[in-house]
Amino acid sequence: MLGKKESMQSYSYVIIICLVFSMGVAPVFAQTSSQYLIKDAQSGQSFQVPYSITGAIVSDMSISSSDTSLVVFLQSSDDGNLTLTLPRALIDAKNGTNDDQFFVLVDGADTDFTEHKTSTDRTITVFIPKNTEQVEVIGTQVVPEFGALSSVVLIMAIISIVAISTKTRLKFA
């Protein structure tokens, strides 16, 4: 029969083994939080898209100006949830000046989602079934086709016209 001291030691070993084992297993079921950097090819602007996901990993994200959408490519091993914090400067859904609803497609099928809005971003959470490969968020506008560079060019053109008209005393009637 084991003494009290040996019995406590045995329990200690069991607890330590359970803790070590649980540390190795926990990440499989854990939620992954990260940020994805999206660079718009047309405007050259970059945007950080914070996200968290369970049951899958994000393999890529891209913006489609023609479809006014953000496409998230996944490698899904289990059911889970995807939460995206979308900067309004990257993608938004507007009807005039009012917020409109996004359309969210999971592997091409329209799906329900929850949303939280602020003045700078919109956060959506969508359920992703096992083996999901793609989530598409469709809005009404994405990164402006003409970014900051077009504003600089416009300002330079106006300054040039003013300077030339002042020097040459051109009058526009």
Instruction: Examine the pLDDT at 64 and tell me if it is beyond 80.
Output: yes
pLDDT at site 27: 41
The answer, as to whether pTM is greater than 0.85, is: no
pLDDT at site 24: 46
Tokens coding 123: 């956060």
pLDDT at site 26: 40
For residue 106, the SS3 value is: strand
For 26, 48, 49, 91, the CA distances from 68, given in Å and listed in that order, are 38, 18, 16, 7
Instruction: Examine the pLDDT at 154 and tell me if it is beyond 80.
Output: no
pLDDT band (50, 70, 90) for residue 168: low
| Rounded CA separation 67/157 (Å) | 32
* Selected residue with higher pLDDT from 29 and 36: 36
**Is the Cβ–Cβ distance between 138 and 67 less than 8 Å?**
yes
Instruction: Examine the pLDDT at 38 and tell me if it is beyond 90.
Output: no
